[in-house]
Amino acid sequence: MTTTIIISISLILVILGALISALAAIGILRLEDVYSRAHAAGKAATLGSILLLAGVFLFFIGKEGFANMQLIIGILFILITGPLSSHLIIKAAYNLETPSSKRLKQDDISETLKDKKI
C-alpha cells in the first residue's frame, strides 16, 4: 500500500518537473532579452530539474526500497549551480552593456555597480 502511494507521488513529481522544464524551455525561446532568458533558465529549469530528480529518488525508495544518495548530491548540485550560473550570466551581460528590452523602465543596478566594474 505504501509502495503504491510513494510511486504515485514520484510519478506526479516527475510529470510536474517535466512540465516546468518545458515551460522554462519555452520561456528561453520566447522571452525578449538576455536578462529575462537567464531568469527563466535559472528559476524554472532549476525547479524542474529538482522535481525530476526528487521524483526519481522517491521512485527508487518505493520500488527498490533503498535511497540513492547520488540523486541527493545531484539535487544539491543543481540547487547551488543553477541560480548561481544565471546570476553570473546576467552580471556579465550587464557589464558588457547588453541592451535590455524596451519594457524595462528603471535600472536599479547602475547605482550599485557604478564604482565596481568587475
Domain ranges of the chain: 1-99
Name the band, by pLDDT with cuts 50, 70 and 90, for residue 116.
low
Q: pLDDT tens digits for 29-40?
A: 998 888 888 888
Per-residue pLDDT, 32: 86
- Please give the mean pLDDT across all residues of the chain: 87
Per-residue pLDDT, 7: 92
Picking from 103, 17, 29, 28, the residue whose alpha carbon sits closest to that of residue 57 is 17
Could you identify the residue written with the cell 527498490?
64
Picking from 6, 79, 28, the residue whose alpha carbon sits closest to that of residue 49 is 79
Q: What one-character-per-residue DSSP string does the chain give?
A: -HHHHHHHHHHHHHHHHHHHHHHHHHHHHH-SSHHHHHHHHHHHHHHHHHHHHHHHHHHHHHHTSS--HHHHHHHHHHHHHHHHHHHHHHHHHHHTT----TT----SHHHHSSS---
Q: Are 31 and 37 in contact (CB under 8 A)?
A: yes
Q: Are 35 and 100 in contact (CB under 8 A)?
A: yes
Q: What is the mean pLDDT of residues 55-69?
A: 90
